[in-house]
């Protein structure tokens, strides 16, 4: 695209150095009107400075929206119904935030008559894919501007020089090389780059924002109870909370006990491996609690089938296919499994660990009269003999055939 091809663009704007430079670059490169969109998804930063900076740069249409409840209710909770983990460990804190931001970019573009959207994701990362797949899925004719793939500002030094040349305020800590980059929302904080690029280097303890180190956590364990209704958490210790408030409280509790740290080398969708460090205290607790309630309330074959589907579902979210038909199909199946997942998990938090110490459900499939080691009147142990022989029949026939 060149100057004149775009009349109005909606920019995902954080108010930080990079997106402020992008804002000015869009104005210069395309001579177009820019609309800024800043989402509060629980990153813990004051957003009013983003408005002030956008106004200072001549922006007339500024959108700043609190999306915390929508984020947890419509994105985090549906994902957690599947106990979703990418590559067995990652709770997808960054991945799950991108479709919501991308959706709002498109909606604001339609509301303001913009013909393009823009983001600050780099050409090496996953986020460019997530934003753009979302945009194209919801508005096939949308134009997308990804500055990091087209401009020549490919170093921190060049970015700062550009900012100084155009009177864009540069935070003092940006004049030096930061040890890592950070992305935060209500589900997690991710850290990557710089000092962390060496996978042998241990993260510095002063890097972490949400959690204390397990060594510094209290010497006394804390017990909590998490209530679920149809697969979603609704209360902590009997206190009903909104989705966002509940996750925020679990973050506070888990962070105090050093829960939810993860150091991971993952496979990016664009083909390279990447080392990231994550803090997901509330999500870690939520996942353990949800699984505990499911252990009482889910049919065996339903649970096993859902668990087989989960890696594919996780891969779709990680790769940016939240609005793809196959993810929607899997979500419908996953949501169906959760109709019976209502109950309470009792957890023990201690020195970075979350342990299940109790679970209960009104419609539990766990029956004391069947599982007891004492004498019972409901289970005929002789039935097991025929059950075993029928299951062994093909094994016996196979061995006989091989030996003949």
Catalytic hit among 73, 74, 181, 268: 181
Place of tokens 């009903």: 240
Known active-site residue 18: yes
CA distance 322 to 100: 9
Structure tokens at 345: 């998990």
Active site residue 165: no
Annotated catalytic residue 127? yes
The two most distant CA atoms of the chain are separated, in Å, by 87
Burial status of residue 27 (CB atoms within 10 A of its CB: 0-12, 13-18, 19 or more): middle
Choose, from 40, 127, 227, 232, the residue flagged as catalytic. 127
**Any catalytic annotation for residue 404?**
no
24, 98, 130, 261: the catalytic one is 98
Cα-based angle 11, 17, 22 (whole degrees, multiple of 5): 35
Cβ–Cβ under 8 Å, residues 94 and 192: no
Q: How far apart are CA 126 and CA 141, in angstroms?
A: 22
- Exposure string of 216-247, with b = 16+ CB inside 10 Å and e = fewer, is ebeeeeeebbbbbeebbbbebeeeebebbebb
Whether 303 contacts 370, CB under 8 Å: no
Question: Which residues make beta-bridge pairs with 222?
Answer: 349
Closest by alpha carbon to 106, among 98, 121, 117? 117
Q: What gap in Å lies between CA 56 and CA 387, rounded to an integer?
A: 76
Q: Find the Cα–Cα–Cα–Cα dihedral 21, 23, 28, 29, rounded to 10°.
A: 90
- Give the catalytic positions in this structure: 18, 98, 127, 181
């Amino acid at each position: 695209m060149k100057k004149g091809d775009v009349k109005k663009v909606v920019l995902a704007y954080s108010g930080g150095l990079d997106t402020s430079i992008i804002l000015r670059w869009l104005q210069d490169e395309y001579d177009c009107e820019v609309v800024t969109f800043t989402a509060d998804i629980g990153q813990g930063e004051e957003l009013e400075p983003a408005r002030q900076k956008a106004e200072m740069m001549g922006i007339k249409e500024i959108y700043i929206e609190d999306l915390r409840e929508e984020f947890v209710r419509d994105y985090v909770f549906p994902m957690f119904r599947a106990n979703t983990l990418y590559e067995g460990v990652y709770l997808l804190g960054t991945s799950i935030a991108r479709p919501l931001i991308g959706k709002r970019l498109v909606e604001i573009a339609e509301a303001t008559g913009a013909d393009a959207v823009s983001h600050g994701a780099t050409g090496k990362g996953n986020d460019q894919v997530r934003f753009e797949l979302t945009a194209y899925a919801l508005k096939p004719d949308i134009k997308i501007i990804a500055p990091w793939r087209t401009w020549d500002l490919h170093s921190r030094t060049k970015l700062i020089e550009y900012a100084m040349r155009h009177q864009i305020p540069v935070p003092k800590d940006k004049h030096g090389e930061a040890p890592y980059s950070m992305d935060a929302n209500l589900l997690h904080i991710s850290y990557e780059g710089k000092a962390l690029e060496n996978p042998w280097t241990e993260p510095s303890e002063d890097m972490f924002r949400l959690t204390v180190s397990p060594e510094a956590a209290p010497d006394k364990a804390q017990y909590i109870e998490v209530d679920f209704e149809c697969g979603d958490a609704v209360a902590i210790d009997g206190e009903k909370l909104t989705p966002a408030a509940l996750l925020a409280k679990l973050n506070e509790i888990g962070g105090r006990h050093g829960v939810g740290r993860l150091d991971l080398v993952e496979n990016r969708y664009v083909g390279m491996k990447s080392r990231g460090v994550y803090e997901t205290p509330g999500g870690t607790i939520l996942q353990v609690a949800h699984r505990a309630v499911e252990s009482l309330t889910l049919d065996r074959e339903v649970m096993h089938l859902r668990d087989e589907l989960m890696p594919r579902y996780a891969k779709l979210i990680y790769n940016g296919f939240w609005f793809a038909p196959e993810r929607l199909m899997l979500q419908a199946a996953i949501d169906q499994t959760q109709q019976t997942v209502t109950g309470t998990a009792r957890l023990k938090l201690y020195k970075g660990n979350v342990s299940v110490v109790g679970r209960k459900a009104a419609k539990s499939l766990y029956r004391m009269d069947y599982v007891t080691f004492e004498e019972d009147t409901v289970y005929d142990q002789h039935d097991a003999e025929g059950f075993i022989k029928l299951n062994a029949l093909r094994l016996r026939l196979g061995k006989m055939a091989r030996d003949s």
